[in-house]
A = this chain, B = another copy of it.
Amino acid sequence: MVAGGIQANISSVPDVTYEALGLDRSKATPKETHEALVKRYKDPAQGAGKGTMGEYWEPIPYSMYLDPATFYKPPTSMRDKASRKECVECHTDESPVWVQAWKRSTHANLDKVRKLQPSDPTYYKKAKLEEVEANLRSIGKLGEKEPLKEVGCIDCHVSINADSKQKIDHSKDLVMPTADVCGTCHLREFAERESERDTMIWPNGQWPDGRPSHALDYSANVETTVWAAMPQREVAEGCTMCHTNQNKCDSCHTRHEFSAAESRKPEACATCHSGVDHNNWETYSMSKHGKMVAMLGDKWNWEAPLKDAYAVGGQNAPTCAGCHFEYEGEYTHNITRKIRWANYPFVPGIAENITSDWSEARLDSWVVTCTQCHSERFARSYLELMDKGTLEGLAKYQEAHELVEKLYKTGNLTGQKTNRPAPPEPEKPGFHIFTQLFWSKGNNPASIELKVLEMAENDLAKMHVGLAHTNPGGWTYTEGWGPINRAYVEIQDEHTKMQAMAALQERVNKLDGKKTSLLDITTPEEKISLGGLGGGLLLAGTLALIGWRSRKRKQA
């Protein structure tokens, strides 16, 4: 047994993962564990690569950096061969900041780690290095008594612990490191992260197994119909920019310094966990928790590992990592074990599940988290406020949703009978679908339909997220309830106006003795009479639409 106990039985990896991998946790070597993890990780049937909608989309050049395993090709422009040392020398000129950052990294300073004293907050890195070396020995990459000298360019981009005499050919040998490459050395963290596939299991399939999580976030991306369907690939790849944690580790551990201290700071999560439908950063950073970190954080020692952040690091307010990496007192890279609402309270089955045993057990785990700084009664009363407040927002949304859905079911959304093109495949026509946030054509979706959809996807999500991050303005007035109230008012108002218009149309129908529904324009002459109002464009658009639908039929 080496220090860190990595030879077998990675303590921080749950039993369900060993079971899923078919491994005996008391016996599995690092080599066996890594191999089993990587087999699953690379399996297209289990979430690797283009996914089931892959036929509908093509990568753009930049995609190779988002899913290197699928799309990366070594550069053909560079045919020189280089050794470990020459990589560094040449790139000091070619891309100097890479090299400067790496020189400050732990990767380039392993001997410093070996000399750390127990009084140093980063002393844990010494044991970590020993664990890494044990992993490499198990895998045959390091001799029994050989110390790891450094982790340089060549180790991650070609071959770990490559011989100093080895020359690599850029155009053939170069790889972009994927999470399994990092996981060769950092097996514990990789295994923890991959365990999200096994612990994030919803009681009634509210979300697919293993989701939401970092372990399957790329899969979640490419399995979204609008993502696969939309012709604007550069917009779609905007989503992918964040949905790459499955593929790579450098969203949180930015290259090439890979500072652990950096990744503990709240800002490490901000670029991805922010915005109109998952404003975790905004609510947290505007909460008292977030502001205390902003005010006091410069006095803390961020080099201390998460478990020591309060006692050793001097921290006295919570960070993203501090609460979300923690589970029952232990800190791991499986950060979804306390998920109950998953940001989106309108997803069917989420609200109904919130008082289940499954959810109550997770709430109890949250209480463990909160009671580091608060009393249990305080924590439980706040979590109750969070749950009930979320349900209040949900009820208001549901009332508006019912109103608009009835319009759809009776065919009375604006343009529903005349100008509602089908979305591109693999999407199917539907009411109030996620796709409509990013795709539209003619009157698909109707304005009132998009509004109630955004009420769910954005406003209600923000209301919950504001509650979850103790940001009163985030659920009460600026985001959450205030905007939900506004959307409700606008939907009710438009609904009443549509009724008035329909009633008037009915009266005119009676007057000239015929029956026509709202916006239901069926005779050619009426179409022509609209020319002056842009009807010509509408006709042209409709014709184009017909042609496009025909093409799709041919494809099918």
- List the interface of chain A (C-beta within 8 A of B): 60-62, 64-65, 75, 77, 94-98, 100-101, 104, 232-235, 237-239, 241-242, 251, 254, 257, 259, 262, 265, 267-268, 270-272, 274-277, 286-288, 291-292, 294-296, 298, 310-311, 314-317, 371-378, 380-382, 384-386, 388-389, 392-393, 402-403, 406-407, 410, 412, 414-415, 418-419, 436-440, 442-443, 445-448, 450, 454, 467, 470-473, 475-478, 480-482, 485-486, 488-490, 492-508, 510-512, 518-519, 521, 526, 529-530, 532-538
Contact = CB atoms under 8 A, between A and B. Distances in A.
A90 to B, nearest CB: 12
Given A234-B385, A235-B481, A274-B478, 6 more contacts: A62-B384, A233-B388, A276-B478, A419-B492, A496-B519, A502-B530
Given A412-B532, A492-B440, A241 B472 contact: yes
A250 B259 CA distance: 34
Given A271-B471, A407-B534, A518-B500, A234 B98 contact: no
A235 B372 CA distance: 26
Contacts of A454: 486
Contact of A410 (B234, B410, B486, B533): B533
A502 B100 CA distance: 67
Contact of A415 (B61, B492, B538): B492
Nearest to A535: B499
A390 B494 CA distance: 33
Contacts of A536: 406
Nearest to A270: B291
Contacts of A440: 485, 488-489, 492
A241 B498 CA distance: 40
B533 A234 contact: no
Contacts of A94: 371
Contacts of A276: 473, 477-478, 482
A274 B493 CA distance: 29
Contact of A500 (B77, B496, B501): B501
A232 B316 CA distance: 32
Contacts of A445: 489
A96 B314 CA distance: 12
Contacts of A438: 477, 481-482, 485
A239 B466 CA distance: 13
Nearest to A405: B534
B277 A291 contact: no
B496 A296 contact: no
Contact of A296 (B259, B310, B392, B473): B259
A286 B268 CA distance: 10
Contacts of A237: 385
